[in-house]
A and B are shown apart, each in its own frame.
Chain A
Amino acid sequence: AQSVAQPEDQVNVAEGNPLTVKCTYSVSGNPYLFWYVQYPNRGLQFLLKYITGDNLVKGSYGFEAEFNKSQTSFHLKKPSALVSDSALYFCAVRDSDSGGGADGLTFGKGTHLIIQP
């Protein structure tokens, strides 16, 4: 079974400072990992994914994430936060051992990111 945890309900960061949103996962095979962002009253938007290859993945809006297999983590990062980054962020995982793959992703509960001016 696959699962994902986002240990922080909310992260507060001052504008211009680096930000990190944490995500850990559990799979029996190899993980496919994703980050999505949700702005108020909108659907989720894809930010980035890790399937294989380089552990540092770069995505949209200047975000990046680092895959750490030994710590089973996939933390989302940005070097300099903007007020417009304030949103709800979801980490998601899929286990490569999940057979046909049709049931999609398992999502974390989300982390509210608040960037203070």
Chain B
Amino acid sequence: NAGVTQTPKFQVLKTGQSMTLQCAQDMNHEYMSWYRQDPGMGLRLIHYSVGAGITDQGEVPNGYNVSRSTTEDFPLRLLSAAPSQTSVYFCASWDISYEQYFGPGTRLTVT
């Protein structure tokens, strides 16, 4: 049981490039979410999903897309990277207990 996994761990992008951050969970959780963590700002919700095929926007969705074709996977796509998207990104999954399980994070730098 690996829990929540994220790849890559580190990434450097140039402004305007696109990329996909991968997230997978093996706990059969219905709910998954993406957060970004910036110093002094806590975790802010980007997008979330209530199940395969269903996604919705969180607090800071601009510049990001998501899809959920399976229960296990919830990739986050950066369409055209900007320096303001430099951050640490966390994926989480949870069930109706609301106890969220977090991945180890992806540290993204956009130059």
Question: CA A94 – CA B99 in complex, angstroms?
Answer: 11
Contacts A94-B98, A109-B42, A110-B42: A104 and B104 contacting too (C-beta < 8 A)? no
B4, B35, B50, B104: the one within 8 Å of A42 (CB): B104
Interface residues of B in 76-92 (CB under 8 A from A): 90, 92
Give how many A residues have a beta carbon under 8 Å from the other chain's beta carbons: 24
Chain B residues near A (Cβ < 8 Å): 4, 31, 33, 35, 40-43, 45, 48-50, 56, 58, 90, 92, 94, 96-105
- Across the interface, which residues of B come within 8 angstroms of A41, CB to CB? 105
B43, B50, B94, B97: the one within 8 Å of A107 (CB): B43
Find out whether the CB atom of A104 lies under 8 angstroms from the CB atom of B48.
Answer: yes
Chain B binding surface SS class: strand
Question: CA A36 – CA B35 in complex, angstroms?
Answer: 14
**Whose C-beta in chain A lies nearest to the C-beta of B50?**
A102
Find out whether the CB atom of A101 lies under 8 angstroms from the CB atom of B98.
Answer: yes
**Whose C-beta in chain A lies nearest to the C-beta of B55?**
A102
Question: CA A102 – CA B45 in complex, angstroms?
Answer: 12
Contacts A44-B90, A103-B45, A104-B33: A49 and B98 contacting too (C-beta < 8 A)? yes
